Amino acid sequence: MTASRIALTVAFLIYGVIAVPSGLDRMSRKSPALEGAVPPPFRAQADRSAAATALVRKQTDAALAESQAAVAHDPVDADSTALLGTALLEKGRYDEADRAFRVAARFGWRNPATQAYWLDVSVQSRAFELAADRADAILRAHPGLADERLLLSPFEADPAGRKVLADRLRARPPWTEQYLAVPADMPAETVERRYQVVSQVDANPPLGCTAIAPLVRNLLQIGRRPDARQLWNRQCPAREVSGSLGDPGFAFVLADNEQDMPFSWIIWRSGDIAMQREDAKGGALVVSNSSSAPRIALYQPTALPPGRYRVRASGSAEAGSKITAAFACSGRFPLMEQPEGDLLGEGQVVTAGDCRDQQLGLWLSGNNSTVRLRSIELTAAK
């Protein structure tokens, strides 16, 4: 049998937070003369702590010796046997490790390393329903492990596994939020697999805007706006995105909950650009540029067919101030030095190119220009 990567990963994560038990245990370690006064159950606990520490430190010989001592002092304890199985895995003694984990399983399923070992065995035989039972047990005890991609990636990598994982998520287990809280740097392939799982989860009730926002944001980052919008509208119907542009009223720019609206405008961070609300009740978005040159102020991902579009905004501009729109590919926004039309008037005509990571940006002229934006719309140009 090949080494169980899942079992070892889970074991190291769990053993890494094991605290050294009672003071008597510690005294017995420092004073060998006290060893004989320590009752066997407490000696076993001291051995388990030492074995866990040795495993985390990759001291495989010491881990094996300490786990063997723990089993000798407390042979019916599932934790002792699981530690022995983990140490044997690290030593590459797979048949012996398998026997140890079989014994540990007979003593009960509360040990995470035992669950992880049989999770891995079930995955290798594509028994995903059984593997999901093991994963669910681990994650209910340690929800934070949903962030460890190794634990659930075998499900995500297989169509049958994705279906089983989606079925579990339909029950909204306590680790759902951690599973959905995908980091911004998740590889595109992993984002795609995570999407394939979550897209199969029903929306009765919906997962909610806050929960689904990180995955939707990642989909937008890899140029999957149609899929991101479909998933968003299904799991966050209260903030449905119906048109070609998200947040057409600029409502989520500078809002406390702007992270919960991935389709909103993204502020291009620059020391020259300042933004604020017109009044305490919200009002127009006031955008200023203190630079002597035009600066891009806001942008958002789009997914429009190549062609010409009219972008029109409602609002106002102070004397000498001008705001223009431009489509970008790969984050490169061209400055429209001679725009076709007036964005705050009859509208500006812009051309969308054929690219996967298409974006629409808004430029503001320099020399302390200031505009007030209330809404924006995009239509096909005739």
Question: pLDDT digit string (tens) for 216-243?
Answer: 999 998 889 999 999 999 999 999 998 8
Report the run of H or E that residue 230 belongs to, with start and end: helix 225-235
Report the run of H or E that residue 278 belongs to, with start and end: strand 273-279
CATH architecture of the region 5-234: Alpha Horseshoe (1.25)
Residue owning tokens 């723990």: 70
Please, where in the chain does CATH 1.25.40.10 lie? 5-234
Q: How far apart are CA 31 and CA 280, in angstroms?
A: 69
Residue range 174-187, pLDDT digits in tens: 999 999 998 888 89
Q: Which residues contact 20 (CB under 8 A, 6 or more apart)?
A: 26, 49, 53
pLDDT bucket at 351, cuts 50 / 70 / 90: very high
CA torsion 288-239-326-335 (nearest 10°) is 30
- pLDDT higher than 50, residue 22: no
Residue 265 token pair? 């405008």
Q: How far apart are CA 207 and CA 346, in angstroms?
A: 40
Residue 252 token pair? 């989520």
- pLDDT higher than 70, residue 2: no
Q: How far apart are CA 111 and CA 69, in angstroms?
A: 18
- pLDDT higher than 60, residue 34: no
Q: What region does 381 belong to: left with phi over 0, alpha with psi -120 to 50, or beta?
A: beta
Q: Which residues contact 379 (CB under 8 A, 6 or more apart)?
A: 309, 310, 312
Residue 115 token pair? 């669950």
Q: How far apart are CA 202 and CA 321, in angstroms?
A: 48
β-bridge pairing 369-380 and 340-342: unpaired
Task: Give the length of the chain.
Answer: 382
Residue owning tokens 């304890």: 77
Cα 55 from chain centroid? 28
Are 285 and 372 in contact by the 8 Å Cβ rule? The answer is yes
CATH architecture of the region 266-380: Sandwich (2.60)
- The candidate with the shortest Cα–Cα distance to 22, out of 43, 52, 51, 53, is 43
Phi first, then psi: give them for residue 177, nearest 5 degrees.
-60, -45
- Order of strands across the sheet that contains 358-364: 266-267, 295-301, 358-364, 323-329
pLDDT at 168: 95
Q: Please tell me whether residue 252 adopts helix, strand or coil conformation.
A: coil
pLDDT at 58: 86
Residue 80 token pair? 């002792």
**Mean pLDDT across the chain:** 87
- pLDDT higher than 50, residue 26: no
Residue range 270-307, pLDDT digits in tens: 899 999 999 877 789 999 999 999 999 999 999 999 99
End-to-end CA gap in the chain: 66
Q: Which residues contact 222 (CB under 8 A, 6 or more apart)?
A: 188, 191, 192, 357
β-bridge pairing 347-352 and 323-329: unpaired
The pTM score is: 0.81
Please, where in the chain does CATH 2.60.120 lie? 266-380
DSSP conformation class of 18 = P
pLDDT at 39: 58
Residue 338 token pair? 């001679």
Are 303 and 225 in contact by the 8 Å Cβ rule? The answer is yes
Number of Cβ within 10 Å of residue 321's Cβ equals 20
Phi first, then psi: give them for residue 373, nearest 5 degrees.
-115, 130
- pLDDT higher than 60, residue 20: no
- pLDDT higher than 60, residue 41: no
- The candidate with the shortest Cα–Cα distance to 52, out of 10, 110, 93, is 10
